[in-house]
Each structure stands twice: as structure tokens, then as C-alpha cells.
Structure 1
């Protein structure tokens, strides 16, 4: 009787515990979905080659953050010809921007 209750309890609880893992889409599945959408209209060897290339692509590395020094160089270059208060105002706005 205890084995029956334990089996019944496990049968009721196991699907609930496994459901979120089964429903979660992995990165590979997501990539496959995206590549399939992009391959629309391609057939045969062309599609096969496209899918191979698409699925093997690594995600792009995030761009390196722009340092304050880089901003200063860029803004100084853009401020060529400006003087006095005009240059000061330009530099202030330029350095605020995210590049």
C-alpha cells in the first residue's frame, strides 16, 4: 500500500517538476528557430549550406565600452575650429553623449 501511494504521489508530482525544464527553450533551439526563419525560400544544397553556416556562427562579442579618454579624443577632433564658449558648450554636450 505504501509503495502504491509513493508511486501515485511521484506520478502526480514529477510532471509538475519537469514541466518548466521541458518548456524552456535552450539557446540552440532558439538559434535553430531563428535560422529556420532566415532560411525561408532556400531549398536543397543552398538551404543545407545556409543552415550549417547559420548554426555554426558564434554570437557577436559585445562591443568594448567607450572610455572617457576615447570620448575626449573623438570630441576634440570634432571640435576643431571652435573656440571659447562655443567650444566649451560643444565639448560639454559631446562628452555627455553615449557613443
Structure 2
């Protein structure tokens, strides 16, 4: 069974003067190199794969930030595991693609 993880790393500092997202990019590079299905977003990276591989890449992404020079780090990790572990079939994805509710008529 697959696992979907939304990984957000929050290193301090986020990078260097020359590369303001150096430490975040180090985590993204590890995720990309893992070969797992993933999608990089503005507030995190969604990763999908076998549970053991997803857990491993989350740990490696955390470690990569520190290895790249971050002094401190916080990681937000959200996980979903179920019968239909596919970004288009999870409850969150359905909400994200659902049409917005219609506003009641004025007056």
C-alpha cells in the first residue's frame, strides 16, 4: 500500500546571502533524487510511494537541510494512507478540485 506525505522543511536560516533557499533546495534535491513520485509546491512537497521509501526520504530531506548548513530545523509532515492512495482520489484532492460553493443571491 502506498503512502502520501506532504513534507515542509523550515530551516533556520532558510539559506545563505548568495542563495536564500539553499537549505530548502537541499531537501528538494534529495526528494527528487529518490525517484519517488513527487510534486513541489509553494508550501511543501508532496511525495508518494511505498511507506518505507517515503519515511526514508522524509528523514533524508530533514538531514540534508542540516548538512547544507542550516543551524536549526523544523519539519511539518502530513501523512495519508488508505485504500485509494492517489492524489486524485484522496479527500483533500477532491476538495481542492471541487467547484467553489455558490454565493447566495443578494437581496
| TM-score, reference length from structure 1 | 0.26
Q: Which has the higher helix share?
A: 1
**Which of the pair has the greater relative contact order for Cα pairs under 8 Å at 6+ separation?**
2
Q: Which has the higher strand share?
A: 2
